[in-house]
Amino acid sequence: MARKRKEFPILENVTITDVAAEGKALARVNDMVVFVPFVVPGDVVDLKIRKKKHSYCEAEVVRFVKYSETRAEPVCQHFGVCGGCKWQNLPYEEQLRAKQQQVFDQLSRISHVQLPEFNPIMGSQLTLHYRNKLEFGCSNKRWLTREQVASGETFDTMNAIGFHITGAFDKILPIEKCWLMDDLQNRIRNEIRDYALANGFTFFDLRQQVGLLRDVMIRNSDTGEWMVLVQFHFESEGDQQTAEALLSHLGEQFPQITSLLWVDNQKCNDTFGDLPVQVFKGNDHIFEVMEDLKFKVGPKSFYQTNTLQAYHLYDVARQFANLNGNEIVYDLYTGTGTIANFVARKAKKVVGVEYVPEAIEDAKVNSELNGIDNTTFYAGDMKDILNDEFIAENGQPDVIITDPPRAGMHADVIETIVRANPKRIVYVSCNPATQARDLIALDNNYEVKAVQPVDMFPHTPHVENVVLLERRY
């Protein structure tokens, strides 16, 4: 017989005092730290504890006693259920303050290296409709809110298109309107949903691995182009014809779509980096423009999702690199070569390294598109490629720009960077905590000279940070 779950008492009249990690806020009750989602500092609330540890607990609001004066009205009808924009109830100025503090706390508390005064965080020009890419899951298991469950409401179908719910990997919260991207994506997504429901499509069951409609990716660009990729899971004869009927309908309804693609995904997950992508209509790519440069973006390409703010991020990296035209620059984790090509005209030579072969091919195309002939790109695992022989072949770098994934840089990569002995390192990071860890490994040889936080994702707790390091001797 299962043990009965312990019921915790309601905590009454608790004042939320500060912003915490992962988009939560915190309060203190006696000696206990309490983490609470979807509240802001100054709120006075009654709380129900959901999880309790030795020194902290996690709770949720059961009643607002008093709303904080430091509060914004969320624009999204899905706020509080969808976990995407956890800070929509926090004024943007306060979001920036919290992110600035987050960068300062993580770099100072984790790295313990000598730090200069931080530059003020660069806020995003757009706080809504700023993304150029969204992905939506399709599932036969619709997520029901507690209110819907309590009401006993019934649904004609449990099929849904929307976002995955944290802690329920096989369930999808149906999204009617998302504010993160131009509104055309809402119309496209809802049209896919309506057509699929009207025509008896099966939606994917992640546990059973059955169902035709699996995933939808939508991208747009500052050139006005739109890409839509639909993932299907073909099981029976005629499934491809059924899928193509949907794609034909989309093409007719939305002439704005310049790249209409599909994938037959038989894997256990929704990643398609190793699968062939089929073109149904238009091109297999769209273009982004930055300054006078053109960048080809394919369905598997990485491109910063906040187009306008990406320019400012890369401009900071270029300023920190301080190039005069005579330098050899290494761009590590180069992706589709955006930074490499962005700085190439101010460098003697740029060498880009990236794990994904398709991204490297895009990087080469992007150089050709822009008449850039001083870039060289290599595909492979960074810790395996970047070694002493590689540096001997490509030349000792004067400047290294590195933009690693959230996990930061491998220890072998850091050791090779130190042996390469560049004058400057420009470290772009989407995770200041792992950036701080890497600064420790670089500290004997490099001094932190500048720190510039950049907000790429308004209404979320995520923040990018650019650090300039200069050789100590």
| CATH 2.40.50.140 intervals, the chain | 1-71
Q: What are 226's strand-pairing partners?
A: 220, 257
pLDDT at position 301 is: 86
Q: Is 117 among the annotated ligand-binding positions? A: no
* Claim: this prediction has a pTM higher than 0.85: yes
Q: Is 354 among the annotated ligand-binding positions? A: yes
Q: Is 304 among the annotated ligand-binding positions? A: yes
What are the two backbone dihedrals, phi and then psi, of residue 345, each rounded to the nearest 5 degrees? -70, -10
Q: What share of the chain is helix, strand, coil (3-state, %, to 5)?
A: 25, 30, 40
Q: Is 333 among the annotated ligand-binding positions? A: yes
Q: Assess whether pLDDT exceeds 90 at residue 302.
A: no
pLDDT at position 145 is: 82
pLDDT at position 268 is: 92
Residue whose C-alpha is closest to residue 372's, from 416, 329, 417: 329
133-290 belongs to which CATH class? mainly beta
Average pLDDT over residues 41-68: 93
Length of the chain: 473
76 is catalytic: no
Please state which CATH number belongs to domain 1-71: 2.40.50.140
Q: Which fold has domain 95-127+306-471?
A: Rossmann fold (3.40.50)
| CATH 3.40.50.150 intervals, the chain | 95-127+306-471
| CATH 2.40.50.1070 intervals, the chain | 133-290
Average pLDDT over residues 404-423: 95
Cα–Cα dist 215/265, whole Å: 10
pLDDT at position 35 is: 95
**For all residues of the chain together, what is the average pLDDT?**
94
The residue written with tokens 């956890």 in the block is 86
Strands 25-29, 32-36: pairing kind: antiparallel
pLDDT at position 5 is: 64
Residue whose C-alpha is closest to residue 25's, from 63, 59, 72, 73: 59
Average pLDDT over residues 218-240: 97
Catalytic residue among 76, 82, 85, 430, which?
430
